[in-house]
Structures are given as C-alpha cells and as structure tokens.
Structure 1
Amino acid sequence: MTNAKRIFLANHSWTDSELDTHLWKSIDTGLLSKADQALFKRRKLAIDLFLNTNTTLKEISLTTGVKKPDIYRFIQRCLATDLMGEIIGYQALLPYQRNKIMIKENTIADILTTYPQIGDEINAILLGKTAIPGYPKENSIVFTVVHRYFLQLCLANNLSSKEFPFNLKDQGLRSFQRYAKSYIESHYDAEIARRSASGRRLAYMTRGVADPRKQPVYPLERVEFDGHKIDAYFTGGYKMPSGEITKKEISRIWILAVIDVVTRCILGYYITFNPEYNADDVIKTLTNSMQPWHPKELTIEGLVYGDNDGFPNPNIPESINARWLELYLDNGRANRAKRVQEFVTQKLHANYCLGPVANPIRRAHVERFFRRLEDDLIHRLPSTTGSNPNDVKRQSPVENALKFDIKVTELEQIIDVWIAKYNNTPHRGIANRTPLQAFKDYVDSGLLLPKYSDTEWEDLKMLQYYRQIVGNKKSGVRPYVNFENVQYTSDLLRQSPQLIGKKVLLKVNPDDLRKVTAYLVDSGLELGILLAKGSWGLEPHDLRLRKAIWQANDKTFDVKKLDNPVDSFLRAAEKKSHTDRKVRARVQNRMKIKYESSDTPKTKDVTKKNNNSFSQNKIIRSQKVDLSGLPSSFITKRG
C-alpha cells in the first residue's frame, strides 16, 4: 500500500466491506453515450486502481487522465451513503449527473441522527404532521422557513459556529433542501396525504391493495357489500281522499347488493325506498344473500328469465348454507351500526372489514357492478336522471316517469331479471366464463365450502331480546311478554301463572313482528310461538314501522284507541304523501314491507332447468348483459 493511500484511508473510518468495490452496485454502460462511456470508464479505472492495487497516484493519473485531487474527491463521493445507509458506489462517477445524496447531505443526516430530538421534529414538519412554532399548519412546505427553524434547533443544542452547517456560506441551505426533497420522496404516501383530503383517501385506499397475499382464492372467501342510489324516477299509486288512485313520482330508490370477489357472482340484493338506507336495510340485504333465490312472478309482457339465469343459491347446491369468511363494507353510517356489526360477527361469523367511503378500489367489484347496472339498464330508461344534472341522458325524467308509468313494482321485476342474467353472462375478469360457471368450476374441482349448522342457519333472520314474563295472579292478569309496547302471549303461556317473573329469550324476525318465539333463560325450554295481541298480530309490519307508529303517538293519533294502528298510520302517511316526496318514498317502502311480510305468494314456484348445464353456454362476444328479454317500451332507443 502506498503512503498516500495509507494516509488518506487513515483519515477516514471506512470499513473493509465498504472499500470492497465488488460489493458496489454495477452500472450498465450500454445505456450511456459513447463519450459518457469513455469518461465513466476512465473514472472507474482510477478508483479501482487506487483501492484494489498499489499503483501510485501519479501512475493512475497518467494512465486514466484523472487528476490527483479528483481521485480523492471521487472516492469520497463513492463511499458516501444515502439515507438508507447504502454505499453510493459507482453511481457517483456518472458524468453530468447530480447525485441526490452528497457528502453534505450525509452531514445533515448525521446531525439529525446524532440529535434525534432535532431529527424527529424536522421530519414531522416535512411530512406535515406538525407545524413550526409560531406558524400555521400549511399544505405547502417552504424549505427556507424550515431551514431557519433547523438552524435555531442546532443553536439550541449547542452546535458551534465553526461546525456544519454554520461554517458554510449558505449555512447548509442547499444541502438541507436536497435532504428534505429526498426524505419527502422516500415517504410518498405521507406526502400525498399531506397535500389534500383526496390525497389522504387515495393514499389510504391504495395501501396494500396490490399485495397478492391478501387476495382471496376461493368462492365466498371475500364478499363485498355496498349501496347505490338508482339514477331514475318511477311512479307509485296512491289513493286520494275522494277514493281516486293517482300516480306520483318516486325518487331516491336504493339498491343494495352483495358480490363474491372470486367468481363475480351477485349473491343477493335488496331494494329500499328509504331516503338513505339504514341498518335494517343492510341486514335485510345480507339475509337475502344467504337465503335461496326464487324467481319473481313477472307481470310485464315479454320479460322472461333465461334457462340458466339465477343466483348461486339454489342453482349450485354446494352453495346452500355456505359461510362467508370476510365481508367488506364502506365506513357509512348504516354499516357502522352496532346491530350490523353484531349480525356479521355473531350471526354470520364473518370478519367485519370496514373501509373508506367513496373509494372504489377497496370494493372495486361491487362498484363496477353498479356502474354496469346503470350503463346497461337504468341509464337507458326514459325516466333516467343520468349520472349528473348536465348528463345528456337526462331528458325530463319526472315527466317521462309519469308518461310511461314506470312503476316501482315493475322496476323490481326488471332488476331481478337483469341480475339473474348478469350471473349467467360471460365476464372478462374470470376468463370469459359466466359467474355461475366460475362458481361451479371451483366446486367441481373438489372445493368444500364451510357450512352453517342447521341451528345457525335458522337463527340468521332472527334478532334476540331478553324480556320478563309479567302478570298478576291476584288481579287475574294472565301472563304475557311485552315487546316494543305490544303484548305477546299464547295458550300455553296464559295457562302458566307459575312463569310470572321468569326471564325469557325472544327470537324476533324484524321483518314480521306478528309473532315471536320464546325460550326460558334458566332452562332453555322453548315456550313456543307467542302472538301479538289485537290487530298487531294480524297486520303485517316490521320493527321499524312499529317504532315509527309509536313515535307518532300523540293526542291527534292515539295508538291505543285505534282498532288497526298499522293500517291507520299508513293511511295517514299516504294522505301526506300527495304533497311530500320524502313521505311518498317512505310510504312506498312501508307498503313493500307489508307486502313482503304478508302470507300471499309473491314468487312463482319455478323449477330451474338444466342446473348442471353451465358448460354448454356459448361465449358471446359482447360483454353487456343480454336485454332481449326486456320490453322495448322500457328501453330508450339511442343512436
């Protein structure tokens, strides 16, 4: 080793591994111009001769044409480290390229490492987590202002004026700016989040999305739920005081759906006429998605189901009673309800995964389904409102809804047929198979889906409440149970005064409160079905309607004096709906609930044909759902 080399290395604390050029990152010189290749090779040869041989500096300079001071300078640049602690290496020899990490940057990094209190505060300011004392928190970072505060922190920590950065003409400003830019670039997600609210959403929703370890691999491992407001007006019939039936427009109709991520199958859906969907609607949708699907009784001429159209349950027997592993929802108010969380975790036994609102990346499949529903069906109706007020498709939607008399009951039929066809339409995302075919392929490969037990399956639709049996032997009041201001009893309970004071568990179907099932808490003995007293046990109604009726209880509407509170409440609301559009939608939803809770048949008993003939479906070129089964009067012709 030459004396010059020995003295130079002795003045620095480089390790043997850092001096080993074989460990440095290589440079592909084929990407450089011929002139830059020649200059880089001369510099590289000079460094290699100095570090790996005993050649003198004079000989190296004569051989490579690199001056002696430049050799020392290049070695220091090559052996500098970046913020990640890695040697810059041969990258420092590239001609005409300013390296982001220079020796002075390392000095900045050394100060922040030596004085962690300075480093933590400066880094937090650069990422917008905190503000400089005396300054407001801003979206933009002014490096000169942060640099002045950095100098104040250095003085406060007793750094000498003869030390870096005070010994430089610009007091390390340029070096600080390079460090700040590099640090911000290395924390790109935080930088995006600092700039705007939309950036925060984007940074959050793209975090970990591309991680292949998190992607589901078999059906029902992950399902997505979301709600979508239908962009169209429809009509409903209401009875005027004179007895005449009049048509009124209805808007803000919501469709809620559950989709399987792996197979793209729509497992179930629910249509609600509430102004905003609530926790009851969410639970109803999830319950519908677990129950077997039945085709609706179609009243529209020309509207038909295809041979293999439908839903996995019951078209694919292996999907009946099958469990979900994960349920993805957005962070909407209804989805965050305690009842929804308990239903998902305790009844469905699934992971409850909330995500950000209005971010389709986390629930891309259900969002794309809604967009396809709008493009293929809703936006082609004459009463569509389009996707925004300036959409060219929006052509007098209210007038067209009344003119063509597109009823909400017909909307339910059309959507049911369309979704059944969607499940039987080839999809590019699953290798041009239909969602039902993809589901069946997984099952035929020997996949065993986890199932609910019979008891768990029966309890899916039931909510549980604890109540006490009340009564009075002395005054002759027979035993009964009070639930939501209504008495429930049965022949067995009325004849069992010894049960007065006992606690019971009520299993309640929230969609039909005419009856409940009771169990004694101390023994688990089933007391059987308890019926609501009076007209409460005759008129179909759900839990929310029951609460709404009692909330309206006042001097002008005395619930206890009414022979039929449910019917009286609906009539009063219907009278108000002639002038109030919001009330009109609520009335329509109440009538829908009443209809679904009644004992009248609502679906045809249709035996599905060719359940196992999915493989015979021909792949069609168009990716749109076939609408040939829809009446032409419901579809707007567009050039």
Structure 2
Amino acid sequence: MSRNRFYENEDIPSDLLDTSLWPKVLVDQLDESSKSIFLTRKQAVELYLKNEKTLNEIRDLTGITRANVRKYTKRCLETDKNNKIWGFRALIPFKTTRTYQRKNLKSESFAGLFQQLLDTYPLIDDIIHDYCKKNNHINNKVLHKKFLDACRSVGLTLRDYPFNTETRSEVIFFYMKAERTIQGNKENGKRPHINYEGVKYYNEILSRSFELIGTKLTILVNTEDLRIVKAFLPDGSEFGMFTAFGKWGVTPHDLKTRKMINKLRKRKMIHLLQEDDPIDVLTKHLEKEARKNKNSRNTLATLNRYIETHQSTNDVLIEPIAKADFEQKKNNNNVPYNKNKPSDIKSRRLTKTIMY
C-alpha cells in the first residue's frame, strides 16, 4: 500500500476528498465508449483516494498507468471558474478543464430537505439507487420501507426529517427527465434561462452565461416539488440546481398544482401578477368555488394537506435566486442571439436515473 499520496502533502480540506459529495455525472448521456472510459477512470481515482491499493495494483485492475492515476486525481481536485470542485466531471472523455486556484469550498446549498438528507447521508441515496437498479418494476411501498429503514440505520429518530413529516403512505423518489434548451437574448436584456411548465428557471451561473444560449440541458424534475430542478450539460456533467422564477421558487407545489394553475390562467379564471404567490391565488380561487362545487372542495382539501406536509421545507431555500430580474442589466458578452436555435424538447416519461 502506498504511504505517500500527493494529496496528503497538500493543503486539501478533508471534505473535498469525500467523493460522495462531488458533483454528479449523468452517465446515460455518454456513448458506450465514453461511458466505459469514464467508469474506468472513476474506479482508479476512487481506489487511489481510498488508499487501499498501491498504484501498481490500481494499474493492474484498471489498466491506467501510475502517472495517469495521479493526473486524473489532481484534475478531479481542481476547481472550475465558479469555485466548484470538478470531481468526476473532470474524467469525462474530451472534457476540457482548466486549473484554478483552490479556495475554501462550502457545500452547495440545496432547496429541499429531501435533497439535504441524501447529501448528508449518502448511504440512504445508495440504498435507494441500489433498489432501483435491481428492480425493473418499482413497488413504491417497498421502496418507502427501505427508505425509512435506511434513515433509522443512520441514527435518525422521530424528531428528525423525514419522520417528523410522515403523513402520507409513500414517498416519491422518481424524477421526470426532460430536455430543455437555454433561452435568452443579450440584445434585449433577457438573461439565459430555461422554461418548464410555463415558468422560467435559472441560477446565478446560468444567468450570466450568454454563451450557453441554445445549449440543450437535461433536467431532473421532482414532480412533488417544482421549486427547483437539477440540470446537466450535454456531456452528462452536473450544472447545478435551477430555481423557479419569482414566488414559484418559494412556495412548495407539485406538478399537478402547476398544471392546474396554468389551465385556470389559460381559461382566464385566475390572473397572476409578477408579485403574486400562485399557490395563494389558487387557494383563494378554490375557496370561492368550494361554496358551490364539491370537486373544488375536494381539490382544496388535497391542496391544504400538501401545503401542511411541505410547509417545513419552505424556509430551506438559501439561494435568493427567485428575487432576480431577468430584464435587468445587459451582459457585456457579445454573443448574438440565434433565432434558429432548437426549441424545447419535452420528455414526459418517468425514469430511474442513476448518477455517478
């Protein structure tokens, strides 16, 4: 076993060596050749960081030379222009990385207790994905039980999430996978963003990246909470969390509620101003209709139960993206808007997506 590893002699925070906290790579975006190369490099880096195998043993297992094992590991530990560790993204074939001075990194803020739970306890995430990988037909009740058992195994009690919010018979772990094209127009002052179900989404990095206009992103949407989506670049590397614009990104709501609001707006039965909370407007509409309509009463009751269940996550949003205004200030990048860029491509199927 090797005693001297380069990262032990450098001032690298220990949390940066925890690969479970690194940005994810959506491997199903890679072709078979690139996927094979990526997974082999990933295995070599993981073995090197675990310090359980010598460099010669890693070479024999993966076919990657001693020098390249060190090179790939160093590349993973570099940070990108947004001061975020490259992680396994740096191992994607033909991925161009650039060395930046390492700074003190903090964990990325996630807008939801469930995502925070998975980030804090990677074992829970592993158990969920392991079940999904081994089963073509997912039984939500079985998955829910495995999830709760995993939570107990890491020491969570009835006082902790998710047990303190357990009011439904099952938890949704599926994400709707979709493709979206980055929209925007520098000349008109429209900052880069994507659209999903009638609402703009973005983060601070995207809003200033005019050069990405026209790029297709893959997004994973938690249909139980549309405030945020997770975005991936065409090569499968994680781009980060995008937050819905305005109050859409503040008040919890699911896909069914979003569709209901859009339908009522189209029929001109409700009207939304930019400063309005869409969920509050819907609630008031249903309260009015409930006086004479049984279906509206049932819908209102369901909505109230959802709001009560998800209220505890309402204060978790750390990043104040929702307060930004796409129409303010032009970016200095001279990248012209291309009107011939492809439009959004919708993908409505629910997927079991494994990320590495």
TM-score tier (shorter):
0.3 to 0.5
Instruction: Give TM-score scaled by structure 2 length.
Output: 0.41
* TM-score normalized with structure 1 length: 0.24
Determine which structure has more spread, i.e. the larger CA radius of gyration.
1
